[in-house]
Amino acid sequence: MQWRSLPNFSAFKIGRRELVIHRDIAAHAAEIVKRLGELAAASEAGAGNRQSAFRLKLEGGPELFARRGRRGGMIGSILSDVYAGMTPRPLAELALTVEAMRRGIPVAEPMGAMIEWIGPALYRGFFLTRAVRGMTLWEFLKTDDDPTVRDHVLRQARSAIDTMHNQGLFHADLNLHNLLVTQARESFTVIIIDLDKARLLDGPLPAAMRRANAARLIRSARKLDPSGRFIDAAALSILQQG
């Protein structure tokens, strides 16, 4: 596994498994590898639209959010969680998310990645962040009917997307499941998650890439809520601004 070292991260190898984690949790390396190995071998369904997300509470350490790499679409029914390549996607996502956070883009704090090699250039993987309490924007819009709060949260989502665009991040899979609504006291914020297909540019995104992100988000909204019961025209207008 070729790994461009990042400040504050350490790499470990235990059998077929390779782990890159934040130095704050380096003392938990063996525990993390064991727990992720158990998740990979189990049939337990997690959270999220691909049932791939799990909370991981370390003994005497912080709570982590572990997302297992899973394929979607038709190929997912064949390969499930197996990927091919010599540059594993969880490691690429880790490096990208570290840089996104450095640029001030609202993302979950990246804490590491684990790769399990199952053959030449074949692997399974996990991506780790510090756990964040909240719900997806889609879950929020289905459960909160206060128009003032809804408007505030939608504008927070718009602000997060604008920051993402201005700082050069193209998400490629922006949808209502990948915007996470969190609450601190009486205020809400929105963070962007699942950057495994994202790209970072050196400067702000050009207009065409911004439109592509917006179009993907609006398609997601219309697919999830074709009748407009939870996402009305005003909400769509806020989401597709910018």
| Banded pLDDT at 240 (limits 50, 70, 90) | confident
Alpha carbons 102 and 7: distance in angstroms, whole number: 12
Alpha carbons 101 and 36: distance in angstroms, whole number: 24
pLDDT at 11 over 80: yes
The token pair at 187 is 């205020």
pLDDT at 236 over 70: yes
Q: State pLDDT tens for residues 107-134.
A: 999 999 999 998 888 998 999 999 999 9
In 3D, which of 172, 6, 205 has the Cα closest to residue 98?
Answer: 6
| Banded pLDDT at 76 (limits 50, 70, 90) | very low
Average pLDDT over residues 66-91: 72
Contact (CB, 8 A) for 91 and 115: yes
Count other C-beta atoms under 10 Å from residue 160's C-beta.
20
Average pLDDT over residues 93-106: 95
Alpha carbons 235 and 154: distance in angstroms, whole number: 7
Q: State pLDDT tens for residues 159-169.
A: 999 999 999 99
pLDDT at 5 over 60: yes
Domain 135-239 has CATH 1.20.1260.10: no
Q: State pLDDT tens for residues 35-62.
A: 888 887 666 655 655 567 888 898 888 9
Alpha carbons 105 and 102: distance in angstroms, whole number: 8
65-101 burial, b at 16+ Cβ within 10 Å, e below that, comes to bbbbbbbeeeeeeeeebbbeeeebbbbbbbbbbbbbe
pLDDT at 198 over 90: yes
pLDDT at 77 over 50: no
In 3D, which of 70, 227, 17, 235 has the Cα closest to residue 147?
Answer: 235
- The structural domains of the chain, with segments of one domain joined by +, span 9-130, 135-239
Of all residues in the chain, the percent with pLDDT exceeding 90 is 62
pTM score of the predicted model:
0.88
